[in-house]
Chains A and B, each alone.
Chain A
Amino acid sequence: EDQVTQSPEALRLQEGESSSLNCSYTVSGLRGLFWYRQDPGKGPEFLFTLYSAGEEKEKERLKATLTKKESFLHITAPKPEDSATYLCAVQDGNTPLVFGKGTRLSVIA
């Protein structure tokens, strides 16, 4: 059973069309939920860490939120340069990061 499920698998947006990506998780002792951006052929680039339900973090057009069962990555007025795969990962206690399959975002000008 997957501990981290991301949806949708792929999302195509027009430039300026805001939307949200979902990451649902099933871990018993969440130590941290991490969002990364991954461009093709590159390593995951750190975006946010969230530690407890109710926490929110923002960076430019991105805002990440966390509940006890899921996290959302909200993208406001996206631009073509926001096109990438967005990865969610969780840490359960002291265990290694477990990644979801990612959401592939395409923003069309």
Chain B
Amino acid sequence: EPEVTQTPSHQVTQMGQEVILRCVPISNHLYFYWYRQILGQKVEFLVSFYNNEISEKSEIFDDQFSVERPDGSNFTLKIRSTKLEDSAMYFCASSFDRSGNTIYFGEGSWLTVV
């Protein structure tokens, strides 16, 4: 069964450092997303990406964050100058269509900022 894969599964980084989280979405999907979940809290939307550009972003997704599809398979989230409050589980997700279509999630990348 096709799945969304994410690397790394866990990353510890020093405050102020840059991190890149990587994702391989399901191969025939066209829409890609990043969500995050702070420990004990709701899953929150960060950004959606379609046709090589951001289609929507939340208030959380400020200038510290960026996304990229560097090749035909990978989708990355870059966090510049990490802060303690960036510690969370980051989920990549993908869907074939945008509206009403099931969004499939990866297993997540747990980011710990120290």
Contact = CB atoms under 8 A, between A and B. Distances in A.
Interface of A: 31-32, 34, 36, 41-46, 49, 51, 87, 89, 91, 93-102
Given A41-B110, A49-B100, A94-B98, 11 more contacts: A32-B100, A32-B102, A41-B108, A42-B108, A43-B91, A43-B107, A46-B103, A91-B99, A96-B48, A97-B45, A99-B44
A98 B20 CA distance: 25
A51 B45 CA distance: 21
A43 B108 contact: yes
Contact of B100 (A46, A87, A91, A96): A91
A94 to B, nearest CB: 5
A31 to B, nearest CB: 4
B103 A34 contact: yes
Contacts of A32: 99-102
Contacts, number: 56
A84 to B, nearest CB: 14
Given A41-B110, A43-B108, A44-B91, A98 B45 contact: yes
Contacts of B33: 96
Contacts of B103: 34, 46, 97
B104 interface: yes
25 contacts: A31-B99, A32-B99, A32-B100, A32-B101, A34-B102, A36-B105, A41-B108, A42-B107, A42-B108, A43-B4, A43-B106, A44-B105, A45-B105, A46-B102, A46-B104, A49-B102, A51-B100, A95-B56, A96-B33, A96-B56, A96-B58, A97-B35, A98-B45, A99-B43, A101-B42
